[in-house]
Homo-oligomer: A and B are copies of this chain.
Amino acid sequence: MATSGRIFIAELGVGEQGDSIGGQVLIRGWAKFVRKTKSTTFIVLQDASGTVQCVGSAQLPVHVKREDALEIVGKPRKDERAKPLGFEVDIVEIRVIGVASESLPFPSGGNDIAEVGIETVLDYRPLSLRTDRVGTIFRIQAALVEGFREALRKRRFTEIITSKIVGGGTEGGANLFAIQYFDRVAYLAQSPQFYKEHGVLGFERVFETGHVYRAEPHATSRHLTEYYSLDFEMGFIDGPEDIIQVEREALTEIFETIKQRFEKQLAGFESYLPSMMNVPTWTFDAFVERLAKAHGRTDLIDDLNPEAERQLCTMAEQECGVAAVFVIGYPMSARPFYTHPRGDTDRAAGFDLLFRGLEITTGGQRLHTRTDLEAALRAKGVDPTVFEPHLKMFELGMPPHGGLAIGLERLTAQILGLKNIREATMYPRDMNRLSP
């Protein structure tokens, strides 16, 4: 691609460059390690494709240090000891094409990043991305998003892109960020909920991957004001079990791909990528009963707290071999107005997925008639005319439907065993943090 004939490290000694052994190559990358002996300089060079050790004399013509961006003309030489490529590169020419500072808070090579505090990691996000550990987190995150899209496309879902600037909230107006929109006030969307329901009317099955916003006035290890939501919505369902089944299958496929693609890199994490096919679906009422029995808890009325979420995942692991559980049938009062009831009960056909002790998905079947929606709004004390533009869409032949949303950062953190969601967010936003 490059006019200069630069090749990627991973292409050294393979394919068309197979004859590069003995010949001369041009490679570029960052000095991840620099080590000098009396006679020799060793540089581990890293580019987008991998790393290779380059070997030169003790006195290189230029000063080279860790993190410098380098251009090296060299001769690949076979060396059985050199992992993983089986060769090194003897330096013929070397140039520094991007100078790094002498004093940086941590190096991109080595394991020091695990000891560095999250604030420094964020302040130097580009350098942390260059480390093996943090680089792996975000490569896996990219694979999660890609896998989600792929799993849904295979199942006849169409990707949609909907506006994040809206006139009002989907759930009533709390926790909205206000935008000065010319001479009006607009808001950042809390979710694509209404748009994806509308999407069902056009395409039957839709998904969207994008940012959503919650003006949550706290900064815990689990909450962000801006997060990336993996949403889907599907029409013509029989019930919430259809949605749960799609999630089971999709996550299982995604996890399998990640285990294969990142086998080596996962060794550095307390990762958890189980088959989701055996994840049980338990009702909220059964839960509360189980928790009362097992832990003597009687405080749970309409929602679970973090401790209960952890306790339930432990139970699921003991009973079903997987530390995850779909909780269905919360009291209707605890769910948004558009939630469909479960049969004739006052329980919701909505569910959460708890995974390794944390809620990573909220979903459910939605009301699909205008009459039911109007009644539900009135029951919550809301005048239905406020939602008229949305309600109008329910006159276009809306079938029974439902869907879910997975928080990408939470999913990433949970499968990799990260303690703080900020480790799984490239540029986190919370009440206190607005940069970088």
A binding-site residues for B, Cβ under 8 Å:
1-4, 6, 8, 28-31, 47-49, 67-69, 71, 97-101, 104, 124-130, 134-135, 138-139, 141-142, 145-146, 149, 153, 155-167, 177-182, 184, 186, 188, 195, 198-205, 210-211, 213, 215, 217, 225-226, 228, 235-239, 241-242, 245-246, 368-369, 389-390, 393, 395-400, 408, 426-429, 431, 434-436
A226 in contact with B156 (CB, 8 Å):
no
Residues of B close to A4: CB separation below 8 A: 238
A200 to B237, CA, bound (A): 44
B158 in contact with A139 (CB, 8 Å):
yes
A209 to B405, CA, bound (A): 19
B100 in contact with A395 (CB, 8 Å):
yes
CB distance from A117 to the nearest CB of B (A): 18
Q: Choose one: B159, B195, B369, B427; the contact of A162 (CB below 8 Å).
A: B427
B242 in contact with A126 (CB, 8 Å):
no
Query: By DSSP majority rule, is chain A's interface helix, strand, loop, or mixed?
Result: mixed
* A-B contact list, 12 entries, CB within 8 Å: A8-B156, A29-B204, A48-B158, A100-B395, A127-B396, A129-B202, A135-B202, A145-B161, A146-B159, A160-B426, A163-B428, A178-B179
CB distance from A93 to the nearest CB of B (A): 16
When C-beta atoms are compared, the residue in chain B nearest to A395 turns out to be: B101
Q: Choose one: B3, B67, B225, B241; the contact of A242 (CB below 8 Å).
A: B3
A142 to B262, CA, bound (A): 28
A29 to B127, CA, bound (A): 52
Q: Choose one: B1, B161, B397, B436; the contact of A245 (CB below 8 Å).
A: B1
B146 in contact with A69 (CB, 8 Å):
no
